[in-house]
C-alpha cells in the first residue's frame, strides 16, 4: 500500500466509521461554532472537558454540603486519599509503578521541587543542559535554580541548538554535547516532546548517555503524557514532571504530575517538605520530625485540591478504557493523514516542520506558513474565525494537534478545506 490515504470526503467518513475509538468523541464537549462544532486541534494546549466531569464535581460539592469535614472519611471516594484515586491509571499511562508517580501542584512548581532534590551543583559539576528555545517557564526555572545556588546562568546553562534543518535536534547532537561537556553537567533537563516543533525524543537513550557521563536526568513531559507511549521506569530517568491540562484533559490549571524513579524512593537528598509528604501511617500524629513517605508521594506538600482532581480522575478512566496503545495507533494514522493531506493539497501554503517518522513525534504537527509572518497571521485568523482552532507560534508557525481521543478524520479534512477556502479567496 503506497497510498493509504485519500483526500475525498467519502474516504474520511469511512475512516471515521472504521475507527475503533470513535465512541470516545461522544464523551467530550466539543466547543460549538455557528450551527456546528469547531474543528478543535488544540488538545495539546487545553484538552476538552469530558462529559462526566460536571456530575462528578457536583458529587463532591454534595458531599461537602452534606458531610462537611466528615467528607475526608465518608462519601464514595473519601477526600483523605483522593490523590491516590488517580495513581493507578496515571502510573499505567506513564509506564511506572504506583509508588513512582504522584499528582500534585502544577508543572513549574514540581520542576522546582524536583530540582531542589536532583540539581545539586558542585564546583566542578554545576551546569544544566536544556534545548535552545525551551518553553519559557522551564528556562526561567532552571536559570533561577542556577542563580539560587550562586552560579551564573550565562555560564552554567547550556542550551543545545537545533542541528537539523526544520529546527529539530538529532541524537548525535545530544551525544556530542554530553561528550564535550558531560563532566560539568549536573542535570540534563529535556522535553519528552518539544512544544514548538512537536519532536519526540528517546528518553531511554538520552538517559543512558547522560548517566554514563554522571549527570542526573529529568524530563518535562508536558507535551508527551497522554500523547506518546511512555515507559518512564524503564527509561531510567531520575525524575519527570508534567501537567494534566493538555492531552490529559484535566481542565484549565489542572493539578500536575511528577515521577521519581524507584532508586530514589528513600533518598536522603534535600527536599522541600510539607505534611502531605509525611509517611501516611503516622501523618496525623503531628510529629515535629518529618518522615517522608517512600516514593514520589514523599514530595507532596499540601493536601490536594479535591475539586481540581475530579476532571483528571474522569479523564484518566477514559484513557484506561481506551488504552494508550490503541490511542497511539489511531494517533499515528490520524496525524499521518493530516500530514499527507498537507503535503498533497496544501504544499504551496504550508510546510511540515515536525519530524516525519512517527517514532519522532506525537499528535502535533507544526506547520510553517509560506510567505512570512503577516501571511501566516492572516491564515491563522481566517481559520480561527471559521471555527478551526489551532494555535500560533511566532513568527510563522501554526500548531495543530488532531488528538486520538476526540478528533476524527473529517476534522483533518475540514482543516484542509478551510485553508483551501482562504487560498481561493485570493491569498
Ligand X SMILES: *Cc1c(COP(=O)(O)O)cnc(C)c1O
In the complex, the residues that contact ligand X under the rule CB under 6 A are 106-108, 135, 137-138, 191, 195, 220, 222-223, 243, 256
Residue 265 · residue 286 · CB < 8 Å = no
Smallest gap from Cβ 369 to ligand X, in A, equals 22
Smallest gap from Cβ 161 to ligand X, in A, equals 18
Smaller CB separation from ligand X, 71 or 304: 304
Residue 418 · residue 345 · CB < 8 Å = no
Residue 67 · residue 306 · CB < 8 Å = no
Angle between helix 409-424 and helix 9-18 axes, rounded to 10 deg: 160
Q: Is the peptide bond before 395 cis (omega within 30 degrees of 0)?
A: yes
Smaller CB separation from ligand X, 99 or 137: 137
Smaller CB separation from ligand X, 48 or 243: 243
Instruction: Name the grid cell of 248.
Output: 490529559
**Dist CA 195 CA 188 (whole Å):** 17
Grouping H, G, I as helix, E, B as strand and the rest as coil, residue 406 is coil
Grouping H, G, I as helix, E, B as strand and the rest as coil, residue 193 is strand
Smaller CB separation from ligand X, 137 or 267: 137
Q: Kindly provide the b/e burial profile for residues 233-265, where b requires at least 16 CB atoms within 10 angstroms of the residue's own CB.
A: bebbbbbbbbbbbbbbbbbeebbbbbbbbeebb
Smallest gap from Cβ 276 to ligand X, in A, equals 19
Report CA Rg, the chain.
22
Smallest gap from Cβ 205 to ligand X, in A, equals 20
What is 133-154 written as a DSSP string? T--HHHHHHHHHHHHHTT--HH
Grouping H, G, I as helix, E, B as strand and the rest as coil, residue 196 is coil
Smallest gap from Cβ 138 to ligand X, in A, equals 5
Smaller CB separation from ligand X, 222 or 405: 222
Smaller CB separation from ligand X, 131 or 339: 131
Smallest gap from Cβ 286 to ligand X, in A, equals 31
Smaller CB separation from ligand X, 241 or 379: 241
Smallest gap from Cβ 16 to ligand X, in A, equals 29
Smallest gap from Cβ 302 to ligand X, in A, equals 16
Instruction: Name the grid cell of 2.
Output: 503506497
E strand intervals along 288-387: 350-352, 365-369
Q: Kindly provide the b/e burial profile for residues 87-100, where b requires at least 16 CB atoms within 10 angstroms of the residue's own CB.
A: bebbbbbbbbbebb
Smaller CB separation from ligand X, 228 or 341: 228
Amino acid at each position: 500500500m503506497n497510498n493509504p490515504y485519500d483526500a475525498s470526503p467519502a474516504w474520511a467518513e469511512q475512516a471515521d466509521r472504521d475507527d475503533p475509538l470513535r465512541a470516545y468523541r461522544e464523551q467530550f464537549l466539543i466547543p460549538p461554532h455557528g450551527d456546528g462544532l469547531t474543528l478543535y486541534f488544540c488538545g495539546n494546549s487545553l484538552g476538552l472537558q469530558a462529559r462526566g466531569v460536571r456530575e462528578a464535581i457536583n458529587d463532591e460539592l454534595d458531599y461537602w454540603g452534606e458531610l462537611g469535614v466528615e467528607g475526608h472519611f465518608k462519601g464514595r471516594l473519601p477526600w483523605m486519599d483522593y490523590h491516590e484515586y488517580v495513581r493507578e491509571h496515571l502510573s499505567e499511562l506513564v509506564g511506572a509503578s504506583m509508588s513512582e508517580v504522584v499528582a500534585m501542584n502544577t508543572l513549574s512548581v514540581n520542576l522546582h521541587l524536583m530540582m531542589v532534590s536532583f540539581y545539586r551543583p558542585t564546583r566542578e559539576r554545576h551546569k544544566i543542559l536544556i534545548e535552545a528555545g525551551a518553553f519559557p517557564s522551564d528556562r526561567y526555572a532552571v536559570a533561577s535554580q542556577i542563580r539560587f545556588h550562586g552560579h551564573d546562568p550565562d555560564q552554567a546553562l547550556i542550551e543545545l541548538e537545533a542541528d537539523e534543518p526544520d529546527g529539530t535536534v538529532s541524537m548525535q547532537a545530544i551525544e556530542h554535547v554530553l561528550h564535550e561537556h558531560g563532566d560539568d553537567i549536573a542535570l540534563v533537563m529535556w522535553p519528552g516532546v518539544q512544544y514548538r516543533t512537536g519532536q519526540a525524543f528517546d528518553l531511554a537513550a538520552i538517559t543512558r548517555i547522560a548517566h554514563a557521563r554522571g549527570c542526573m536526568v529529568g524530563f518535562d513531559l508536558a507535551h508527551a503524557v497522554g500523547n506518546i507511549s511512555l515507559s518512564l521506569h524503564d527509561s531510567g530517568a531520575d525524575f519527570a514532571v508534567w501537567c494534566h491540562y493538555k492531552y490529559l484533559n484535566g481542565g484549565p490549571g489542572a493539578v500536575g504530575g511528577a515521577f521519581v524513579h524507584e532508586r530514589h524512593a528513600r533518598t536522603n537528598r534535600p527536599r522541600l517538605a510539607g505534611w502531605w509528604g509525611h509517611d501516611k501511617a503516622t501523618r496525623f500524629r503531628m510529629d515535629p520530625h518529618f518522615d517522608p513517605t517512600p516514593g514520589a508521594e514523599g514530595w507532596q506538600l499540601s493536601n490536594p485540591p479535591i475539586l481540581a482532581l475530579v476532571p483528571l480522575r474522569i479523564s484518566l478512566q477514559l484513557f484506561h478504557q481506551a488504552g494508550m496503545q490503541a490511542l497511539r495507533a489511531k494517533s499515528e494514522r490520524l496525524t499521518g493523514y493530516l500530514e499527507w493531506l498537507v503535503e498533497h493539497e496544501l504544499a504551496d501554503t504550508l510546510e511540515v516542520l515536525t519530524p516525519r517518522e512517527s517514532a519522532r513525534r506525537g499528535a502535533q504537527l507544526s506547520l510553517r506558513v509560506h510567505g512570512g509572518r503577516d501571511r501566516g497571521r492572516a491564515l491563522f485568523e481566517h481559520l480561527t474565525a471559521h471555527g478551526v482552532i489551532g494555535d500560533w507560534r511566532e513568527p510563522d508557525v501554526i500548531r495543530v494537534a488532531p488528538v486520538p481521543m476526540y478528533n476524527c478524520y473529517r476534522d483533518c479534512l475540514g482543516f484542509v478545506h478551510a485553508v483551501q477556502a482562504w487560498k481561493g479567496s485570493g491569498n
